[in-house]
Structure 1
Amino acid sequence: MLKVWEPESIESTRGEYGIISGRLNDIAWDGESQRVIAVGDGREQFGRCITADSGNSVGEIIGHSKSVNAVAMKPQRPFRAATVGDDGNMVFYHGAPYKFNNKSAQHTGFVLGAAYSPDGSSLVTVGADKRIQLYDGKTGEPTKEIGQGEHSGSIFAVSWSPDGKKFVTASADQTVKLWDVDAGTVVQTWKFGEHVSVGDQQVGVVFVPGRSDGLIISLSLAGNLAYLTEGKPELARVVYGHGKSITALSTGSDGKGADLWSGSFDGRVCHWDVNSGIATVVDGQAHTNQVSQFATADGKVLSAGWDDTLRIVDESAKTFLGTSIKLQAQPKGVSAANGLVYVATYSGVSVYSGEKLVSEQSFDFTPGAIAASGSFVAIGANENSVRIYNASSNGKLEEVKSLSNPTGTISALAFSKDGSHLAAGNSVGKIYVYSAGSWELVADRWSAHTARVTSIAWDDTGAYAANAHKDGVNGVAWVEGGRVASAGGDANVKIWKVQNLP
């Protein structure tokens, strides 16, 4: 699906168009901002040229036998376009309407990137064969190859400078290179990572238009955006974040809500400054699988992951501490109270003091969620109940109450900040609230969802609870200013302003 957005009003789209029956890899606009070519890996065709306002076809994308990776459109009349793909071809089109003109097979492998110079006089393509090939922008005829032997890995992307005298390339060899087009030589090289690292491969690059400082932004396979400036070897800035679904979210241990911690499907853990929106990737040995849940206490973040480990993060240093703690089974949740850390797994509950295991307990049910406050530990059971335990100073759990939940399996638990209430969310979207101590049911009408509740967070007053459900949102937290943070399958952390609460 191709969506065309109004830049002044991003809440609505100008149009949504089905292009091909498969993944789209690239899009390009013509010089009049009226036509769009979108290409990718379709079953019946590899791309289409349409009008942006109506989606009507204004040409056909033919000439490729395999997936098309990139498209470039000449900015001025007479209009031209070029597509490149896995078949090793550069296909050239005349327009509009855009029709096949010729194709060139200068590359010997996948062709991964293409770009027109700002004046339309030159076209450049790059590929897995490390080749940089230039063409006449009007005829599509090859003119020269430059940079032989400079890149040692596949070249994924290329972008021209606004003056058309230089372009930059991004490569799997973990470098971005700036080129003088006329001389065919490298002007500057930026190297990412001291050692061989797949995550440091540079897979995208762009000269940012409309700027006088010549800013270049490159994208790594790990999802990091690096800001580069010609003549300066150091990076001006690196923007971090998640490239995979965010599966865990929590505020910092100080309770102020100025910091957020997020974990994703690939094991990455990030710290976020709520006010600036800037993220920092936690340094050290990260999880090798999905982050399941966080607990925070005493300047530490306790992170449980599906690599069956519990890892501890120093909040101030933003670094993993020591070695990981191996768990008995895959974790279902983690919580902390009174200096103890409780980890619920498929086989039971393990209790830790620091990195030391102090207690293990198995049950006649499978835990599905866990929450702790003071000496109370609540565990969601797979037979539609919440089991309440009293924890001793050495982590031994003694059951004091069983709370039945007739409508579904417990999937999320959370105590209010003052520990006076417990919220329990279940697999069918219902949330029940109990009074801690008496364990009487005080609310059972919270049913905004119809799917499994994945996360519950109380505000500072204990009057309101925000919750997330399985339809794309995996974590929720209250942050400073009475706002709510959410995170989910789109790999984004979003901050919401809450208004008109009763």
Structure 2
Amino acid sequence: MPYELKHVFASLPQMERGVAKVIGGDPKGNNFLYTNGKCVIIRNIENPAIADIYTEHAHTVTVAKYAPSGYYIASGDASGRIRIWDTTQKEHLLKYEYTPLSGKVKTLHGPRTARGSLLLGTDERNSGPCSCGTPAPQLGNFRVDIKQTRPYRLALASDDTCGSFFEGPPFKFKFTMREHSQFVNCVRFSPDGNRFVTAGADGQMFLYDGKDGNLISTLGGEKAHKGGIYAISWSPDSSQLISASGDKTQLGCLWQNEHLLTISLSGYINYLDKNNPDRTIRTVKGHSKSIQCVTVHKKDGRPHIYSGSHDGHINILFTLYGQ
């Protein structure tokens, strides 16, 4: 009798202190994704117990993002390889594979064009923005985002404390933004493209015009956070945003539909109350390190799964699957 897969118990994201974790959102609003080791984890945002795992990378996956259509996911790994694969079929068939970078891929973005062919990446060997198959110029370690409405714009944030603004495509440099005093860790355009925000290790956030790149104002006063800011995510209507900072050990965030998610240093996924973001209404727990042992125990006729991981955590999971 052949075995049949009944359920996937997904791992948590693997975290590193002081390093932002990208949470990708499904444009259709159904799922979110993140990486752990050589895997991309896809989870249902309403019920995160429903999960799928993509395991076709040969090296540690560093970032994964949905295409604007929602039908494909692009994932990049530590070797500089980018894979674009299908989300509509269980097999997740590979559509394209590129190796445009010589080091770790840190960001992936593409404009909402008919072809949607442009991908951008950064690595740790001082490579700059590139399209797949095009050599990357030497610009330093950076983060990037693309305006998803016409006219297209590109904003770049760098470890040299500066940001850059580009018009295109093809994207051409216009000017440098010098408001931050420390590393600029994140840059994000609003969904409607009218604004973009930069956030840095100095705890500051600056709001700019999405079309011409002019500075509009600071956010949160002199400092938005006491610690460095690692991630930003806009609300779907572009009227609000959520930020993740080291002052509360949050390394990633996502605002998708009515859901506000953050990722803690522990890897725990926290659902926040939209009307009171200081209140956590749900926490998704699990393993973020390799599992070393598993056993099943029945109590009152109900099976429980006990698992122990490399970091010394033991999880107990009640399941209805199997007898």
User: Structure 1 length normalisation: TM-score?
Assistant: 0.47
Q: 1:450 to 1:314 in 2, by over 3 A?
A: farther
Q: CA deviation at 1:236?
A: 5.0
**Does the alignment pair 1:301 with 2:77?**
no
User: Structure 2 length normalisation: TM-score?
Assistant: 0.71
Aligned-partner SS, 1:248: coil
Identify the residue that residue 198 of structure 2 maps to in structure 1: 424
1:245 is aligned with what amino acid? M
Identify the residue that residue 9 of structure 1 maps to in structure 2: none
Identify the residue that residue 456 of structure 1 maps to in structure 2: 232
Distance, in Å, in 1 between the alignment partners of 2:35 and 2:190 is 23
Task: Give yes or no for contact 1:473–1:487 (8 Å, CA) kept in 2.
Answer: yes
Q: 1:283-362 maps to which residues of 2 (within 5 A)?
A: 283-286=54-57, 288-292=59-63, 294=65, 296-298=67-69, 299-317=71-89, 319=92, 321-322=94-95, 324-326=97-99, 327-337=101-111, 338=113, 339=116, 340-345=118-123, 346-352=126-132, 357=133, 359-362=134-137
Q: Which has the higher contact order (CA 8 A, sep 6+)?
A: 2
Q: 1:433-448 maps to which residues of 2 (within 5 A)?
A: 433-446=207-220, 447-448=223-224
Between 369-378 and 291-300, report the one with greater CA deviation: 291-300
Task: Give yes or no for contact 2:24–2:66 (8 Å, CA) kept in 1.
Answer: yes
Q: CA deviation at 1:415?
A: 0.4
Q: Which runs of 4+ in 1 moved over 6 A?
A: none
CA displacement, residues 33-77 of structure 1 (integer Å, 9 cap, x when unaligned) = xxxxxxxxxxxxxxxxxxxxxxxxxxxxxxxxxxxxxxxxxxxxx
Distance, in Å, in 2 between the alignment partners of 1:286 and 1:472 is 29
Q: 1:236 to 1:295 in 2, by over 3 A?
A: closer
Identity %: 13
CA displacement, residues 228-286 of structure 1 (integer Å, 9 cap, x when unaligned) = xxxxx7565442233733832111133xx32111112x132111111122242333413
> Residue 248 of structure 1 is aligned with which of 17, 22, 26?
22
Aligned pair count?
Answer: 258
1:241 is aligned with what amino acid? S
> Residue 184 of structure 2 is aligned with which of 410, 415, 440?
410
CA displacement, residues 89-147 of structure 1 (integer Å, 9 cap, x when unaligned) = xxxxxxxxxxxxxxxxxxxxxxxxxxxxxxxxxxxxxxxxxxxxxxxxxxxxxxxxxxx
Distance, in Å, in 1 between the alignment partners of 2:45 and 2:55 is 23
Task: Give yes or no for contact 1:251–1:259 (8 Å, CA) kept in 2.
Answer: yes
Q: 1:100-139 maps to which residues of 2 (within 5 A)?
A: none
Identify the residue that residue 385 of structure 1 maps to in structure 2: 162
Distance, in Å, in 1 between the alignment partners of 2:254 and 2:107 is 16
Distance, in Å, in 2 between the alignment partners of 1:444 and 1:369 is 20
Q: CA deviation at 1:294?
A: 2.9
Q: Which runs of 5+ in 1 are unaligned?
A: 1-189, 192-232
Task: Give yes or no for contact 2:25–2:65 (8 Å, CA) kept in 1.
Answer: no
1:307 is aligned with what amino acid? S
2:122 is aligned with what amino acid? A
Q: 1:235 to 1:409 in 2, by over 3 A?
A: closer
Aligned-partner SS, 2:156: strand
Identify the residue that residue 369 of structure 1 maps to in structure 2: 143
Distance, in Å, in 2 between the alignment partners of 1:253 and 1:236 is 27
1:271 is aligned with what amino acid? I
Q: 1:259 to 1:440 in 2, by over 3 A?
A: same
Larger radius of gyration: 1
Q: CA deviation at 1:381?
A: 2.4
Q: 1:437 to 1:283 in 2, by over 3 A?
A: closer
Q: CA deviation at 1:335?
A: 1.3
Distance, in Å, in 1 between the alignment partners of 2:108 and 2:13 is 24
Aligned-partner SS, 2:130: strand
Distance, in Å, in 2 between the alignment partners of 1:287 and 1:456 is 30
Aligned-partner SS, 1:332: coil
Distance, in Å, in 2 between the alignment partners of 1:442 and 1:328 is 37
Distance, in Å, in 2 between the alignment partners of 1:309 and 1:258 is 27
Task: Give yes or no for contact 1:412–1:426 (8 Å, CA) kept in 2.
Answer: yes
Q: CA deviation at 1:290?
A: 4.5
Aligned-partner SS, 1:344: coil
2:137 is aligned with what amino acid? S
Distance, in Å, in 1 between the alignment partners of 2:83 and 2:265 is 23
Q: CA deviation at 1:463?
A: 1.4
Task: Give yes or no for contact 1:348–1:367 (8 Å, CA) kept in 2.
Answer: yes
1:291 is aligned with what amino acid? T
Q: 1:441 to 1:239 in 2, by over 3 A?
A: same
Q: CA deviation at 1:500?
A: 5.2
Identify the residue that residue 257 of structure 2 maps to in structure 1: 480
**Does the alignment pair 1:467 with 2:243?**
yes
Q: Which runs of 5+ in 2 are unaligned?
A: 278-323
Q: 1:305 to 1:453 in 2, by over 3 A?
A: farther
Q: CA deviation at 1:351?
A: 0.9
Q: 1:321 to 1:488 in 2, by over 3 A?
A: farther
1:362 is aligned with what amino acid? P
Q: CA deviation at 1:484?
A: 0.4
